[in-house]
Amino acid sequence: MVPEIRKILYATDLSRNARYAFGYAASLANRYGAGITVLTVLKDTYSSHDMSVMDLIREENILTIGEADKQEIMRLVEARLKQFCQGGKKELSSCPFLVDEIIVEIGEPVSAILAWVQKAGCDIVVMGAHGRGMIVNALIGSVSRRVVRRCRKPVLVVRLPEDAQT
């Protein structure tokens, strides 16, 4: 049985490596006539508040300030993602792929990616990988590694070519 690919989840952190992985998502979308859902997940930095600030401002005020900041950050990231997708379409003009939706979330990246695979009915996940530490070329990033282990759909993890990593 040949699998059908109708919906691709492209998970990005907007890094150079993620931009490279976008080419693979676009190529798959073009080949299979699939739509792309673009997802970026911002880590929640407001989960632990400074106790000295908590003494000065009531907790609900801090949460309100935090939510306003989060919304502004999400708006800016969404605008950046739209630029990113438009740039990808220009670079890959022979690929008439469709970006179905652009999603920006705040939370834990692995959980959000796995949730969107189910929610959007995706057939495959495409994402870049970052090697970290002393053996950079032997490792894939921790987010991509955890997605590969936990996802019930195929995951294409794309690394920058060696000549592009410098």
Residue 111 sits in a domain whose CATH number is: 3.40.50.620
Here the tokens at position 154 are: 């195929």
Using CB atoms within 10 A of its CB, is residue 74 exposed (0-12), middle (13-18) or buried (19+)?
middle
Distance of alpha carbon 81 from alpha carbon 127, whole angstroms: 15
Kindly state whether residue 54 falls inside one of the protein's structural domains: no
User: Residue 32 is part of which domain span?
Assistant: 7-45+82-164
Distance of alpha carbon 160 from alpha carbon 154, whole angstroms: 20
Kindly state whether residue 1 falls inside one of the protein's structural domains: no
Q: Which residue has better confidence, 54 or 165? A: 165
pLDDT at position 36 over 70: yes
Q: How many CB atoms lie within 10 A of CB 142?
A: 13
Residue-wise pLDDT tens digits, 99-147: 888 888 888 999 999 999 999 999 999 999 875 444 444 445 689 999 9
Alpha helices in 49-158 (DSSP H): 51-56, 59-91, 109-119, 142-150
Under DSSP, is residue 143 helix (H, G, I), strand (E, B) or coil? helix
pLDDT bracket for residue 165 (50, 70, 90)? low
Output b/e per residue, 79-113; b: 16+ Cβ within 10 A: eebeebbeebeeebeebebebeebbbbbebbbebb
pTM of the model: 0.73
Here the tokens at position 141 are: 């990033």
Q: Beta strand 7-11 with 35-42: parallel, antiparallel or unpaired?
A: parallel
Kindly state whether residue 28 falls inside one of the protein's structural domains: yes
> What percent of the chain has a predicted confidence (pLDDT) above 70?
65
- Stretch among 84-88, 97-101, 120-124, 147-151 having the lowest mean pLDDT: 84-88
- Stretch among 4-13, 44-53, 78-87 having the lowest mean pLDDT: 44-53
Kindly state whether residue 155 falls inside one of the protein's structural domains: yes
pLDDT at position 166 over 60: no
Kindly state whether residue 63 falls inside one of the protein's structural domains: no
Q: What is the H or E stretch that residue 160 is in?
A: none
Q: Which of 102, 109, 104, 103 is nearest to 43 (CA)?
A: 109
Kindly state whether residue 50 falls inside one of the protein's structural domains: no
pLDDT at position 18 over 90: no
Kindly state whether residue 117 falls inside one of the protein's structural domains: yes
Q: Which residue has better confidence, 79 or 123? A: 123
Backbone angles phi and psi of 59, in degrees to 5? -55, -40
Q: Is 133 left (phi over 0), alpha (psi -120 to 50) or beta?
A: left
Kindly state whether residue 60 falls inside one of the protein's structural domains: no
pLDDT at 111: 95
Q: Which residue has better confidence, 121 or 50? A: 121
pLDDT at position 21 over 70: yes
Number of domains in the chain: 1
